[in-house]
Each structure stands twice: as structure tokens, then as C-alpha cells.
Amino acid sequence: MAFGAWFAKYRFFLYGITFTLLGISFYRVYIKGKGDVGKRTRVVLWSVASVSIGLTLYSIIKNLR
């Protein structure tokens, strides 16, 4: 529990880092990449984005209660 409590102090900072890196990834795949990125890379990117958004929303909703 102590390890998780230590991370809880930096939760919003870590959210910011996560979504900044996801934004950079989407930029590199869809704007800068322009077709030379494979389908597998797009599937992995969307999967990671979905999991990240889901876990972030779960964490925020859980702490609202």
C-alpha cells in the first residue's frame, strides 16, 4: 500500500505525461507518418490509448465516491 500511496501524490502529473506521450504518438502515426506505418502499429496505438483512457476514467470516478 505504501508504494501506491507514494504514486498517488503524482497522479495528475503522470496523467499529463501519459496523454502528452499519446498525443505525440498519434501525431507521429497519423500526421507525420502519412502511410508508412503498418496496421499493427495503429491497432496497438488505439489499444494502448483505450486502456489508458479507461484506467484514467476509472481512477477519477473511483476517487469521486
Tens of pLDDT, residue by residue over 42-64, are 999 999 999 999 999 998 898 88
Structural domain total, the chain: 1
Bigger pLDDT: 15 or 63? 15
User: Which domain range does residue 6 map to?
Assistant: 2-64
1 has a pLDDT exceeding 70? no
pLDDT at 55 (0 to 100):
93
Bigger pLDDT: 21 or 7? 21
Q: What is the CA radius of gyration of the chain?
A: 15
pLDDT at 43 (0 to 100):
95
